[in-house]
Amino acid sequence: MLTNSSPILVTGGAGFIGSHFVLDWFTHVGTPLVNLDKLTYAGNLRNLESIANRPDYTFVRGDICDRELIDRLLVEHQPRAIVHLAAESHVDRSLVGPQDFLTTNVQGTFTLLEATRHWLATLPEAERAEFRFLHVSTDEVYGSLKPGDAPFEEAFAFRPNSPYAASKAASDLLVRAWVKSYGFPAIVTNCSNNYGPLQFPEKLLPLILDRAVKGQPLPIYGDGMQVRDWLYVTDHASALRAALELGKIGETYNIGGWNEQANLDTVRLLCELLDEFLPDSPHKPHAQLMTFVTDRLGHDRRYAINATKAERELGWRPKETFATGLRKTVRWYLDNRAWVEEVTSGAYREWMETNYGNR
């Protein structure tokens, strides 16, 4: 029987956003949680060591495309909600190998939807009414904004410009179709660029941090004037918790940090913080390490989120400004160099050479 003390099932809970959501859940809610993660290159169970031995926490290594596994987990754990975070999420990787993105983001979401739909049909109506499926997506589905354009709103048309964005747009549309066709109890969130501790160092901020500390060139795509709306990851976790509790079935909520920054300015701010935190570094000023490289294919010029609906209907607003969040982020990476060295394995170094070696 589904109750408020029934577990939730989180997919991708060992990833960057997923691990923060799991930790946030046990801090603020504390009911049982099942974490399903394939543990690909960006999944890291060390992120969850602090809760690994809790009796109300269960980790399952597995693939969201495995229908037999999903069916078994639903029957065994009887979750009251699914928070679907599992995804391939790096644009550059999608340009090199789009197949993995279609498999995980599209086929995997389809598998979850169908398994959950058939399982819900076996439950009494009252229990079905309590269940929620929270699908976590990205602002990149909306495409690119011009400098004077209004920020993305939930009703904007999808115009994805990368294989990653297209795969997430497809998954969003699958969820919408299941809501409309089957009355499936889903909610969708589309977030802006996340940053913070525990982020795999392929993304901009941890990549720049790691290379700057080592005195390596800091690659800036194109002219560096691509604008992103930065969202501190713990603010995102709290937004997902609010969406799960208060979100309306069939609705989409844009989650943003109200922090638009050009990539070039972001890297300069990061370098200034490194100059402050590492006064004896032989690489000061770290901004001298910036190197402009060939822009990536289909690089979106500007993202910006209008998060008014989330504020109004979910009672949520980010706590961190970009200045406070970036300071916390830089400090964490400097204090946790062993974590960075551990995750930047040989496979990571091979990827860096593939993506940046000829730029």
Catalytic residue numbers, as ranges = 139-140, 164
SS3 259: coil
Strand runs (DSSP E) across the chain, as ranges? Answer: 8-11, 33-37, 57-61, 81-84, 132-138, 186-191, 193-195, 218-221, 227-232, 252-255, 260-262, 290-293
Sheet holding 193-195, edge to edge: 193-195, 227-232, 260-262
Q: Are 51 and 212 in contact (CB under 8 A)?
A: no
Could you give the CA distance from residue 294 to residue 304 in angstroms, rounded to a whole number? 24
Among candidate residues 278, 283, 296, the one with its CA nearest the CA of residue 334: 278
**How far is residue 240's CA from residue 193's CA, in Å, rounded to a whole number?**
15
In sequence order, what are the beta bridge partners of 61? Answer: 37
Nearest Cα to 3, choosing from 166, 154, 123, 171? 123
Cα–Cα dist 199/212, whole Å: 16
Other beta carbons within 10 angstroms of residue 206's beta carbon come to 24
